[in-house]
Structure formats: C-alpha cells, structure tokens
Amino acid sequence: MKIPTRPFAIGASVLALAALNACVAPQPVYQTSRYPYQPTYPVSQSAYVEYGHVANIEVIRSQTSGAGTSGGGAVAGGVIGGVVGNQIGHGSGRAAATALGVIGGALLGNSVEANANAPRVYESYRVSIQTDNGAYRSFDVPSPGDLRIGDRVRIDGGQISRF
C-alpha cells in the first residue's frame, strides 16, 4: 500500500508560504511613555513646580535607514515556489510548473524581504512651554495628548499637566 505524500507536501508548502508572508508586516512601534511626559533625569534638577503656557507644538519626523535585500527572501521564496509548483501536473507540465514556481517564488520572496527592510518614518512631538518667568522649556513626547497651543500648564518634576 502506497502512502499518499502529496497532501503532506501541499500542507508543508502552505505552512512555509504562510511563514514567509508573516514577514511582510512592518515591525510595530511601541511607545514606552505616554502623556504626561516624565523625562529620566535626577529629581534634584527639577524639584520645584513651574507654571506657563504652551507656546508651540511641532511634529518631529525621524526615519530609520532601510537595509537592502540579502537574497535570503529570494532563496526561501524560490524553494517554496518550487515545492508548490512540483505538486501541479504530470511529466513536462510538472517541470514547467516547478520552474514557474521557483521563479515566481523567488520574485515574491525578494519583494517581501525588500518590504520588510524598507525605511520607516516615525513621528513624535516637541512641546515648547514658555514659563511665567519668561524662560522656554521643550519636551519631546510621543503624543501631545490634549495639549493645545495657549493652554496653561504646570511642570512638576518634568511632568507636564494642564492647569
């Protein structure tokens, strides 16, 4: 009795293709802090409370440098495409399907790798506050929250809050 291996090969091909497609999603950006902002410096530098108003809120964009393709995606895609293509047809049709699977998989795998290594743009905000004594202080925050230009604020230990 011959054991059918085709379903196992198709299942393995689908699983490998799903694993390759999982690499398409960009890396998530996790914000480590929220508004109100708390910088990491010794408390002795800001042991008093200041009052002022929001003078400006500006968007700061930063970009990571992208990395080129290494060829790993093309190799993995070619192997997966060849395995999937080999499951189709008989004789010379199978050979043609395997060749098309290798070429198509290599192109797809290279595209997936290029997308995963593409440059990413991130946004943060610089909140400028004019204190009541006329000085300006700036805070880089991941989100300005509900702060708007002109809002009266309190700075306590480097933490900004509406007043």
**pLDDT tens-digit map of 123-139:** 889 999 999 988 899 98
CA distance 20 to 41: 43
Least confident range from 34-38, 44-48, 90-94, 143-147: namely 34-38
Beta bridge partners, 103, equal: none
Check whether residue 92 and residue 18 sit in a common domain. yes
Render pLDDT for 87-116 as a digit per residue (tens, 0 to 9).
Answer: 887 888 888 888 888 898 889 988 888 888
Check whether residue 109 and residue 131 sit in a common domain. no
Would residue 11 count as lying in a domain? yes
Max avg pLDDT among 2-6, 18-22, 130-134:
130-134
Q: Domain total for the chain? A: 2
Check whether residue 137 and residue 102 sit in a common domain. no
Would residue 92 count as lying in a domain? yes
Tokens of 131: 């204190």
pLDDT (mean) for 21-50: 54
pLDDT (mean) for 44-48: 57
Burial (CB count within 10 angstroms: exposed 0-12, middle 13-18, buried 19+), residue 106: buried
Cα-Cα end-to-end distance for the chain = 82
Neighbours of 12 (CB within 10 A): 14
Check whether residue 6 and residue 83 sit in a common domain. yes
Check whether residue 100 and residue 110 sit in a common domain. yes
Domain range for 7 is 1-25+67-118
